[in-house]
Amino acid sequence: MSVDSNASHLAWLYDIYLKTGIKVPFPIIADLSGVVARKYGMIANDMSTTETVRNVFIIDDKGIVRAIFVYPMNVGRCIPEILRTVEALQTVDKCKGSTPANWVQGNPIIQSSPQTYDELIKRVEEIEENRNGMSWYLSFKNNCITEDKECSKKDKS
């Protein structure tokens, strides 16, 4: 979505196609009045009433905004970070846990903390056996994949 015209969007899409051969597979929304852009905080009114900041919204299949990136107009988006965030969200949704700082696809994720004392004892035993953590509250799960939309059998519990 942008505050540019439909004609600008068509020219942009055609230019992408001519230079790369890629047909953009999603709709581009023209918000000429800026109504939607203002509702989502994409126009910094203290700087301009018409220029948008560069926002990226990651919205899940339930319509919930899961992450927002905001870039000034003069700073390009970081596509690898956006893709890493999508992969991280998909992984933790499917495999139940958290991703640590600088996580990338294929790295271990942090297991959710035990909720009962019995689970805590089981976690301590698992850490001692597998050497996959520092303490009952910080342990890691390996082999969590999202390609088939499930965790590996080893890590299901």
Whether residue 152 is predicted with pLDDT greater than 50 in this model: the reply is no
Q: What is the DSSP letter of 22?
A: P
Residue 42: closest CA among 55, 33, 31: 55
Position 32 confidence tier, pLDDT thresholds 50, 70, 90: confident
Return the residue matching tokens 């047909």: 23
CA dihedral 81→99→107→139, nearest 10 degrees, is 160
CB atoms under 10 Å from CB of 155, counted, come to: 18
pTM recorded for the entire structure: 0.72
Distance CA 66, CA 85 (A): 10
Whether residue 154 is predicted with pLDDT greater than 60 in this model: the reply is no
Beta bridge partners of 98: 110
Position 45 confidence tier, pLDDT thresholds 50, 70, 90: low
Question: Helix, strand or coil for residue 16?
Answer: helix
- Please state, rounded to an integer, the average pLDDT across all residues of the chain: 85
Domain boundaries, the chain: 1-52, 96-155
Q: What is the CATH number of domain 96-155?
A: 3.30.1020
Question: Helix, strand or coil for residue 68?
Answer: strand
| 70 contacts 44 by C-beta, under 8 angstroms | no
Distance CA 4, CA 22 (A): 21
